Chain A
Amino acid sequence: NAGVTQTPKFQVLKTGQSMTLQCAQDMNHNSMYWYRQDPGMGLRLIYYSASEGTTDKGEVPNGYNVSRLNKREFSLRLESAAPSQTSVYFCASTEAKHSYEQYFGPGTRLTVT
């Protein structure tokens, strides 16, 4: 049982390049989330998916798109990376029936130059 996995662990992009961050969970959870973590700001929600086939914007969605490929996988895409998107990105999931506890992946550290 791997929990929540994310790839890649590290990535460096040039301004304007695109990339997709991958996330998968093996806990059969319904809801999945993408957060970004910046120093002094905690975690902020980018997008979430309450169930397979649905996605919704969070607190900071601009510059990102997401795809809920199936129940296991939830990807985050940066179409045209900007230096302001330099951050650590975390994927999380939750069962949704219990107490809203979220399980986090190990994170992707992204630098945009």
Chain B
Amino acid sequence: AQSVTQLGSHVSVSEGALVLLRCNYSSSVPPYLFWYVQYPNQGLQLLLKYTTGATLVKGINGFEAEFKKSETSFHLTKPSAHMSDAAEYFCAVSINNNDMRFGAGTRLTVKP
């Protein structure tokens, strides 16, 4: 089965600094990859997704991620962190419609 590893359960950055959240996956077939964001006491909201085609994917709120097959990675970046980015972020991989696997999550803290 496919799986996801998120490196770093907590990441702290200063406002205006680069955000980099790491995600590595394993899959026996070409995967679909996702980043979701969860704000306190809310459900998950899709940030961006990779299905096929262009490997650099742009999402909402200025986030982007690059699918690197050779590195089995799908890291999430944002050039300049904002206080409102503080949340928990989940990377997920899916190879069919009924088996999406989530990483353990990375909590992002943004310091003023």
Chain A positions within 8 Å of B, measured between CB atoms, are 4, 31, 40-45, 48, 50, 56, 90, 92, 94, 96, 99-107
Min Cβ gap B31→A in Å is 10
User: Bound complex: CA of A65 vs CA of B45, how far in Å?
Assistant: 26
Residues of B within 8 A of A94 (CB): 97
Q: Residues of B within 8 Å of A, CB-based: how many? A: 24
A101 adjacent to B44 (CB under 8 Å)? no
B105 adjacent to A42 (CB under 8 Å)? yes
Residues of A within 8 A of B4 (CB): 42
A100 adjacent to B100 (CB under 8 Å)? yes
B46 adjacent to A101 (CB under 8 Å)? yes
Residues of chain B in range 6-35 having any CB-CB distance to chain A below 8 Å: 9, 32, 34
B99 adjacent to A45 (CB under 8 Å)? yes
- Beyond A92-B44, A96-B97, A106-B43, list 16 extra A-B contacts (CB 8 Å): A4-B43, A31-B97, A40-B9, A40-B105, A42-B4, A42-B102, A42-B103, A43-B44, A43-B102, A50-B98, A56-B98, A90-B44, A100-B94, A100-B96, A101-B34, A105-B43
Residues of A within 8 A of B49 (CB): 99, 101
A42 adjacent to B34 (CB under 8 Å)? no
Residues of B within 8 A of A40 (CB): 9, 104-105
Residues of B within 8 A of A99 (CB): 32, 49, 51
Min Cβ gap A60→B in Å is 12
Is B90 an interface residue when CB atoms closer than 8 A count as contact?
yes
User: Bound complex: CA of A60 vs CA of B41, how far in Å?
Assistant: 23
Query: Which of A43, A45, A105 has the most B CB atoms < 10 Å from its CB?
Result: A43
Residues of chain B in range 44-67 having any CB-CB distance to chain A below 8 Å: 44-46, 49, 51
Min Cβ gap A101→B in Å is 6
User: Bound complex: CA of A101 vs CA of B57, how far in Å?
Assistant: 15
User: Bound complex: CA of A96 vs CA of B97, how far in Å?
Assistant: 6
Residues of A within 8 A of B44 (CB): 43, 90, 92, 102, 104
